[in-house]
Amino acid sequence: MDDGHMPGMNGTGTGTATPHHHKMMMTHMTFFWGTQAEILFSGWPGTRAGMYALALVLVFVLCVLVEWLSHCHLLHRVKPRVAAGVLLSLLHALRMGLAYLAMLALMSFNGGVFLAAVAGHAVGFLAFATAEEAHRPHGEKATADLPLMSC
């Protein structure tokens, strides 16, 4: 029972023993600190600290991109309503896909990944939302392409 399976079961329900044992990984269900985490993909970033740092940068950039898509003005020149609707739907799908990817990275429960995600959203909001606010005349409503995400 040391491999996490019932004795004599090979995973197929036939009851025959198998010579291959699968290593069971323990997943964290609480926040932990350290560079040995699995983020998004099995075995990634591995045990090297440089790859962990790259994973943190990736999560940071991912969250900045989510904020950029939330405040971008790419469609103000598109005239046909159907084309604008299709492009708006594609932008929304991209933003949600990136947001879900960031959420899946956060489910590693690694403290560094959490801080990188929060920092990415903060920097993205500072860069894009405050810049949008500064260039808008007083009293004018925000005109971002996509509605802001809310909880």
Q: For each of the chain's 151 residues, which pLDDT tens digit applies? A: 444 444 444 445 555 555 555 555 567 788 889 888 899 888 889 888 899 999 999 999 999 999 999 888 777 666 678 877 888 889 999 999 999 999 999 999 999 999 999 999 999 999 988 877 766 666 666 666 666 665 4
The answer to whether position 3 is within a domain reads: no
The answer to whether position 61 is within a domain reads: yes
The answer to whether position 117 is within a domain reads: yes
Instruction: Give the dihedral sign, CA 73/78/83/85.
Output: positive
Residue 19: asked if its preceding bond is cis (omega within 30°), the reply is no
Rounded to the nearest 10 degrees, the angle between the axes of helix 111-124 and helix 81-106 is 150
The answer to whether position 59 is within a domain reads: yes
C-alpha span between 68 and 78 (Å, rounded): 19
The answer to whether position 129 is within a domain reads: yes
The answer to whether position 63 is within a domain reads: yes
Q: Residue type at 6?
A: M
User: CA triplet 27, 28, 30: central angle to 5 degrees?
Assistant: 160
The answer to whether position 97 is within a domain reads: yes
The number of folded domains in the chain is 1
The answer to whether position 125 is within a domain reads: yes
* Side-chain-facing half-sphere of 81: CA atoms under 13 Å: 0
Question: In which domain, by residue range, is 119 found?
Answer: 54-135
Give the predicted TM-score (pTM) of the model: 0.71
